[in-house]
Structure 1
Amino acid sequence: PGTPVEPSRPQESPEEPADPSADPEAPPADGGDTAPQARPAAFAPHPVPTLARTAPAEENQAA
């Protein structure tokens, strides 16, 4: 079990940077232009559609 654990850790390391790469935390590290574009694009489209869908959904169900 000791051997598989060692190679497992190094594999997770490369995966961690891959996840944040899609997040707004990775873009800012690459460049300033990518940070402002990825942040508003990932934050606005997500919260906007969620709230918009939640409001109409409640009204439809109540009606």
Structure 2
Amino acid sequence: ATAGMMLMGCAESLMIIFLGLETMSIALYVMAGFRRFNRFSLEAALKYLLLGAFATGFLLYG
């Protein structure tokens, strides 16, 4: 997550900002589902992943 934030901070183009945002998001998806044997943790991670996927699609579409 920190690498993604650093990448966003030193970016000079929108593509690099997007890559930094996605790098940060992947780390946050992993942290949301860190407790693999807890049902609620897996549910939260899946919902967060779907929300992030839709948000990424809208961001790329314009």
- TM-score, normalisation: structure 2: 0.39
- TM-score, normalisation: structure 1: 0.38
Larger radius of gyration: 1
